[in-house]
């Protein structure tokens, strides 16, 4: 779910004081994001500032990735507080009384308060995508900022990193994303595939993806990636990587 919210964003945009959203709306969205199966980001457009000087209409995009892959719903709310009237269960199930948006949407992370790399590298990417005639919005933190510039595409829900590399669909687990991005790199698109995973050991999983009657199965391994810089002007930290095991 992407919600239009102009103005500055803090490091954690959904928390009270993190944006100009009313605190009760921010708390509700944080709950959906933390406890439910809903990823929530804020978005803004430099082309709509005049609209917000006149009234408080908010654009909202909803992509029910699991229940209705490929569908993108659009709401235009007169009052941002009306977001709280939405039923998160229906959002997940795709039971949404709203028209389908006919175009795909790009959300480019430019949340410099979270990571300065996103602001420095995200805006040139935004301009590049706009020049291609695509519908592009700035967004709050998406995730994976060490791969900045990072952007999310709707309705497929995919996260892309530096150089246009697919990091994975946002509704998949990290081990499932590893399989999806592996096959995408060799020309096989697993969009809308049904994924299953079975843990083999503490650090390995067998992951299967079924699409159009075909089944793709791989072993994904977790390992330490050592120290690396995840954010501009910050110290290197350790972390994990998930990769398909190559025979």
What is the residue-wise DSSP string for 149-179?
S-EEEETTTEEEEGGGEEEEETTS-HHHHHH
Nearest alpha carbon to residue 205 among 168, 170, 176, 246: 176
Rounded Cα distance between 234 and 247, Å, is 36
Rounded Cα distance between 186 and 216, Å, is 13
- Residue range 222-237: mean pLDDT, rounded: 70
Question: Which of 171, 200, 232 corresponds to the end of one domain?
Answer: 171
Judgement on whether residues 147 and 215 belong to the same structural domain of the protein: no
Question: Which of 171, 186, 221 corresponds to the end of one domain?
Answer: 171
CA dihedral (67, 37, 45, 128) in degrees, to 10, reads: -70
Judgement on whether residues 149 and 106 belong to the same structural domain of the protein: yes
- Alpha helices (runs of H) in the chain, residue ranges in sequence order: 23-35, 49-54, 88-93, 116-131, 174-185
CB atoms within 10 A of CB 13: 24
**What residues form DSSP beta bridges with 241?**
223
Quickly state the pLDDT bin for 55 (edges 50, 70, 90): low
Judge if pTM exceeds 0.85.
yes
Judgement on whether residues 202 and 94 belong to the same structural domain of the protein: no
- Give the residue, 55 or 112, on which the prediction is more confident: 112
Judgement on whether residues 162 and 178 belong to the same structural domain of the protein: no
Structural domain range at position 61: 1-171
Judgement on whether residues 80 and 155 belong to the same structural domain of the protein: yes
Quickly state the pLDDT bin for 210 (edges 50, 70, 90): very high
pLDDT of residue 122: 87
Measured CA to CA in angstroms, residue 159 lies from 64, 112, 221 at distances of 15, 18, 21
Judgement on whether residues 125 and 153 belong to the same structural domain of the protein: yes
Model confidence at 222: pLDDT above 80: yes
Nearest alpha carbon to residue 119 among 134, 143, 139: 139
Phi-psi region of 148 (alpha: psi -120 to 50; beta: other; left: phi over 0): beta
Question: Which of 134, 152, 171 corresponds to the end of one domain?
Answer: 171
Judgement on whether residues 167 and 188 belong to the same structural domain of the protein: no
Judgement on whether residues 102 and 56 belong to the same structural domain of the protein: yes
Judgement on whether residues 20 and 58 belong to the same structural domain of the protein: yes
Contacts of 116 (CB under 8 A, 6+ apart): 231, 232, 233
Judgement on whether residues 89 and 63 belong to the same structural domain of the protein: yes
- Give the pLDDT confidence of 111-161 residue by residue, as tens digits: 877 778 788 888 999 999 999 999 999 999 887 777 888 999 999 999 999
Q: Looking at the 3D structure of the chain, how many domains does it have?
A: 2
CB atoms within 10 A of CB 36: 13
pLDDT of residue 121: 86
Judgement on whether residues 109 and 183 belong to the same structural domain of the protein: no
């Amino acid at each position: 779910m992407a919600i239009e919210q102009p103005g500055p964003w803090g490091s954690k945009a959904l928390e009270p004081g993190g944006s100009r959203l009313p605190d009760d709306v921010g708390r509700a969205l944080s709950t959906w994001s933390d406890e439910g199966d809903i990823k929530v980001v804020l978005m803004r457009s430099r082309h709509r500032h005049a609209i917000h000087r006149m009234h408080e209409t908010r654009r909202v995009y909803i992509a029910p990735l699991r229940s209705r892959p490929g569908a993108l719903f659009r709401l235009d709310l007169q009052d941002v507080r009306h977001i709280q009237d939405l039923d998160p269960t229906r959002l997940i199930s795709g039971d949404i009384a709203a028209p389908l948006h006919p175009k795909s949407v790009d959300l480019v992370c430019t949340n410099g308060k979270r990571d300065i790399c996103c602001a420095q590298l995200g805006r040139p990417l935004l301009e590049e995508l706009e020049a291609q005639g695509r519908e592009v919005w700035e967004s709050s933190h998406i995730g994976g900022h060490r791969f900045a510039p990072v952007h999310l595409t709707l309705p497929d829900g995919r996260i892309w990193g530096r150089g246009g590399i697919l990091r994975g669909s946002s509704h998949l687990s990290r081990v499932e994303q590893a399989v999806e991005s592996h096959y995408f790199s060799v020309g096989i698109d697993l969009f809308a595939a049904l994924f299953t995973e079975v843990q083999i050991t503490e650090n390995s999983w067998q992951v299967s993806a079924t699409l159009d009657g075909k089944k793709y199965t791989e072993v994904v391994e977790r390992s330490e990636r050592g120290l690396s810089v995840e954010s501009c002007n910050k110290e290197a930290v350790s972390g994990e990587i998930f990769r398909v095991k190559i025979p």
